[in-house]
Amino acid sequence: MYPNGHILTFFSGIIVSLVMISGQNIAANDIHATPSAMPERMSITGSSITDQQGNTIGVTIPLKRAGRLLLLEGTVDNITGNFILDTGASGLVLNKTYFRGSMTFDDEEGGGVTGATSSVARMVVKKLEISDMVFTRVSADVIPLGHLENRRGVKILGLFGMNLLKNIELVIDVNRNELQIFSLDKQGTRTGSASSQVKYDIIQKIDEFHHVIFVKGAIGGKILDFCLDTGAESNVLSIDSHHKVLETVTITRRSGLSGAGEGRGEVLYGTINDFSMGSRQMVPMETIVCSLAAMSQKYGYPIDGMLGFDFFMKGKICINLVKKEMGICLNKEEHK
């Protein structure tokens, strides 16, 4: 949180993607584009979900993958590309490569696992459409994302965060490459005459803090706070965790860490062998172990880890933002 009360759109998982997976510096942006003025219209590709009476109750959006990043296809004015689905980001972020006009700048700095990055630029998208969902005058942070494009070989227009999605249910099915968004009533039930009742293997309460989702899980018998982050290419665990937590992690290798800011450090790669959520223990997951102090400071919320791609591969994840709960339909191989 900023001293003046404004909240920085915090793109935690993308910072992890940039500086942690490779364990080395990322090449500078070498993609050139003609700067644009304030975007008039942004749209995300999707199709309406209707009930038996033909009422629209939600939208289905195809997911694409670039490595372990989840992408939504979209268009901003006449530019077509991809947005990274990032539940670890509080809002909309645009790639400075394509959007430079009509920006305003703040003195505050962004931040990642290695500390401060740079001052924050912002602009406004006049109209955003997701199938039948329409938003007007949407504020967006503007940062350079060319290094991700270079590394993944896809056009990335920005990050799609959580502040636009209120009073809805997200269904993230990575195995079927599909994102669904359902409208909810005031009680948190899907609208429409044919709202389905899904039976979950795990139901867990979530917290929402500045449009970022947090959930509790347990490792080594210790309850930990995790950011739920589709933008993270790997799970992340704090190196400052209790020794009983770290003792359950099998370290496979280590590497130096050079981030987008001035900070440097070390990152460990390993496997979490004792992760449980609710009363259900889950099979081992890969993780990165590093300091999350800088991220906790930027969030204004102490986090013990981030649940990223490896976690979302466990099954279908349903996030109900009215009931403040998450349901998981586990893959068959995940049952223990």
Instruction: Provide the domain limits for residue 27.
Output: 12-183
Strands (E), 32-160: 42-44, 47-50, 56-62, 64-66, 69-76, 79-85, 92-95, 104-112, 115-130, 133-143, 156-160
177 and 28: one domain? yes
The pLDDT value recorded for residue 171 is: 95
Question: Distances from the Cα of 150 to the Cαs of 23, 31, 35, 54, 82, in angstroms?
Answer: 16, 8, 19, 43, 14
**Which run of H or of E encompasses 309?**
helix 309-312
pLDDT digits (tens, 9 = 90+) for 193-207: 555 667 899 999 999
Q: Is the pLDDT of residue 19 over 50?
A: no
Asked if residue 195 is part of any domain, the answer here is: no
More confident: 218 or 123 = 218
- Measured CA to CA in angstroms, residue 244 lies from 93, 249, 255 at distances of 37, 9, 23
> How does the average pLDDT of the chain come out, rounded?
81
Mean pLDDT of 111-134: 73
pTM for this model (two decimals) = 0.82
> Count of CB atoms within 10 A of residue 149's CB?
21
152 and 37 inside one domain: yes
Domain co-membership, 26 together with 68: yes
Contact 72, 82 (CB under 8 A): yes
| Same-domain status, 24 and 154 | yes
Whether residue 313 is predicted with pLDDT greater than 90 in this model: the reply is yes
Q: What is the pLDDT of residue 39?
A: 85
Q: 34 with 167, same domain?
A: yes
Residues paired with 43 in a beta bridge: 75, 129
d(CA 238, CA 219): 12
Q: Are 108 and 8 in contact (CB under 8 A)?
A: yes
- The percentage of residues in the chain with a pLDDT greater than 90, rounded to a whole number, is 48
Q: Within this chain, do residues 155 and 302 fall inside the same structural domain, yes or no?
A: no
Site of tokens 């490459």: 177
User: Residue 9: pLDDT above 50?
Assistant: no
What's the confidence (pLDDT) of residue 15? 42
Query: Does one domain contain both 175 and 269?
Result: no
> Which pLDDT value is given to residue 119?
61
In the chain, what is the greatest distance between 2 CA atoms, to the nearest angstrom?
A: 57
- Picking from 146-155, 263-272, 325-334, which range would have the lowest pLDDT averaged per residue? 263-272
User: Looking at residue 16, which CATH number applies to its domain?
Assistant: 2.40.70.10
Query: pLDDT by residue (tens digit) across 64-122?
Result: 999 999 999 999 998 999 999 998 888 899 999 898 766 665 545 554 444 444 567 88
Q: Is the pLDDT of residue 28 over 70?
A: no
Radius of gyration of the chain (CA): 19
208 beta partners: 213
109 and 57 in a common domain: yes
Of the pLDDT bands very low, low, confident and very high (cuts 50, 70, 90), residue 164 is confident
Q: How confident is the model at residue 32 (pLDDT cuts 50, 70, 90)?
A: very low
> What percent of the chain shows pLDDT beyond 70?
78
Please check the confidence at residue 24 and state whether its pLDDT lies above 50. Answer: no
Task: Report the distance separating Cα 169 and Cα 141, nearest Å.
Answer: 25
Q: Give the Cα separation of 93 and 123 in Å (integer).
A: 9
User: What was the pLDDT predicted at 103?
Assistant: 64
Whether residues 60 and 153 fall in one domain: yes
Q: Are residues 22 and 142 in the same domain?
A: yes
Q: Is the same domain home to 172 and 211?
A: no
pLDDT score at 266: 73
Is residue 217 within 8 Å of 235, Cβ to Cβ?
Answer: no
Q: Where are any strands of DSSP class E within 131-260? A: 133-143, 156-160, 168-173, 178-183, 202-209, 212-219, 222-228, 235-238, 249-258
- In the chain, the N- to C-terminal Cα span, in Å, equals 41
Q: Which residues contact 227 (CB under 8 A, 6 or more apart)?
A: 12, 88, 212, 213, 214, 295, 299, 303, 305, 306, 307
Mean pLDDT of 253-279: 75
Last residue of a domain, one of 154, 183, 212: 183
Separation of alpha carbons 293 and 106, rounded Å:
23
Q: What is the pLDDT of residue 229?
A: 93
The answer for residues whose C-beta is within 8 angstroms of residue 301's C-beta and 6 or more apart is 209, 210, 212, 214, 225
pLDDT at 321 over 80: yes
Q: Report the number of distinct structural domains present in the chain.
A: 2
- The span from the CA of 112 to the CA of 119, in Å, is 13
Q: How confident is the model at residue 242 (pLDDT cuts 50, 70, 90)?
A: very high
Mean pLDDT of 208-232: 92
Whether residue 179 lies inside any domain: the answer is yes
Within-domain flag for 229: yes
Say whether pLDDT at 26 is over 60.
no
Higher-pLDDT residue of 37, 297:
297
